[in-house]
Amino acid sequence: MSIINLITNIPGPKSLELVARREAATARGAAKLTQLAVVSAQGATVTDVDGNTLLDFAGGIGVLAVGHCPPNIVEALKAQAERLIHLSAIVGTYESYVQTAELLNEVAPGTHAKKTVMLNSGAEAVETAVKIARSYTGRGAVIVFEGGYHGRTNLTLAMTSKYALFKKGFGPFAPEVYRLPFPNIYRRPAGLTEEEFVDYSISQLENAMIAQVDPSMVAAIVIEPVQGEGGFIPTPPRFLQRIRELCTQHGMMMIADEIQCGFARTGKLFATEHYGIVPDLMTTAKSLAAGMPLAAVTGRAEVMDGPHPGGLGGTYSGNPLACVAAVEAIQMMRQPAFLARATEIGQRMRGHLESFQTKYDIIGDVRGLGPMLAMELVRDRVKKTPAMEETNKLTQETLKRGLITLRAGLYSNCVRFLPPLNLTDAEIDEGMGIVGEALKQL
């Protein structure tokens, strides 16, 4: 029996009406990928204002690992709203704030003493992590990588790649940010094996410590273990290991940006666990609080205590509602059964995608880690020419059929899959069937 139930075209007339009101009332620069207007959601499905039921493989852009509106989180939010909606952790302390920090310290990689600071958004978490690293080390420089996405504030825009979409017209940007090549295995130079390319990438990293910035001036190296907006590209293990070694050798802080790849998205609670690497600092957001606005920086206690008292914080940071949602979500996502199911979802979805790859030449690469998966579309498999227009058409075709998908990638030619991790096999198969129909239409 189909999960998707369409009674109008997508988008329907009521969606178009509400989106028109939005466009009249809000700035045109605010990103909007679909003409869909949603009224409710549950699990992996959403219902739009026209009464259509759709499958959601975007998951709030990776926010909904535990699905839409989990009953336990809804009940926790209701109970909290009756007691305390806001105080500000700057003014006073409340149980859910402390419990969230304790849980993050407990589940973050490493056995060392840890501390946490809570923020509102992923960009704020990244910026705060850099502030902490600079305060602790007394250094100013930050190293980032091509294809990385770290946010839309001035500092994080300086750190973010993909200029035209995110950065055009917004400069000048914060100084002392050094961007290095990222080892994208799929787009390696012709004639190099994967191992040779990783060797070359490591040599570029090491050379940058001479040619671009001395490590004694570097506060931190910031890297996504699996690039998100960059196209779901896992960092090659030896490259990430070399970053860890260089940071330890030169007193630089290793900051793992786990905002998109964290909280079970790769089948483990954090992507760095796949590598056996412990960062000095880790940023989290997105699925941390099941859709409530909450982000965090968790790291070595002595590093986290680098900034002076009062140097960190924000009016809404660690809001009581967001914190009770985070407590419930973390407890759900840390369970072995939840992580095992996430892994199963990844295996089943990858099977579908690899099957499509054998049928359709437009799919140049299928990649990811666990259920964090993407397919890169190209017009020529040899030249690997990005198929940007075709990617947009594909996401539009899936939406028409009742499946929400998103693009990604440095060239905007990847389709990424970020579904709730409580998907059933039937939902996976129905959604992937629609992807197959859309590919055939292309």
pLDDT at 303 over 90: yes
Residue 93 has pLDDT above 90, yes or no: yes
pLDDT digits 0-9 by tens, 38-66: 999 999 999 999 999 999 999 999 999 99
Asked whether residue 41 is assigned to any structural domain, the reply reads no
Looking at residue 189, its pLDDT comes to 95
Phi-psi region of 257 (alpha: psi -120 to 50; beta: other; left: phi over 0): beta
Confidence at 164, pLDDT banded by 50, 70, 90: confident
Q: What is the mean pLDDT of the chain?
A: 97
Tell me which H or E stretch contains 157: helix 154-159
Residue 303 lies in a domain: yes
> Which domain, by its residues, includes 283?
84-333
* CATH at residue 116: 3.40.640.10
322, part of any domain: yes
3-state SS record for 338-382 = HHHHHHHHHHHHHHHHHHHHHHCCCEEEEEEECCEEEEEEECCCC
Give pLDDT, residue 411.
Answer: 95
Burial 326-347 (b: 16+ CB within 10 A, else e): bbbbbebbeeeebbebbbbbbe
Say if 426 falls within a structural domain: no
Q: What is the band of 425 on the pLDDT scale with cuts at 50, 70, 90?
A: very high
Average pLDDT of 79-87?
98
Q: Is the pLDDT of residue 1 over 90?
A: no
**Contact present, 310 and 286 (Cβ < 8 Å):** no
Tokens of 141: 């420089």
Structural contact between residues 386 and 392, judged by C-beta atoms closer than 8 angstroms: no
Q: Which helix (H) or strand (E) holds 119?
A: strand 114-119
- Best CA proximity match to 104, nearest among 82, 119, 93: 119
Classify residue 319: in a domain, yes or no: yes
- Is 418 within a domain? no
Determine, yes or no, domain membership for 383. no
Please give the tally of structural domains in the chain: 1
Cβ atoms of 133 and 312 within 8 Å: the answer is no
Is-contact 150 257, C-beta < 8 A?
yes
Per-residue pLDDT of 95-141, as tens digits, reads: 999 999 999 999 999 999 999 999 999 999 999 999 999 999 999 99
Indicate whether 275 belongs to any domain. Answer: yes
Q: Which two tokens stand for residue 269?
A: 């609670």
Q: Quick one: what percent of the chain has pLDDT higher than 90?
A: 98
Residue 362 pLDDT: 98
pLDDT tens-digit profile of 388-416?
A: 999 999 999 999 999 999 999 999 999 99
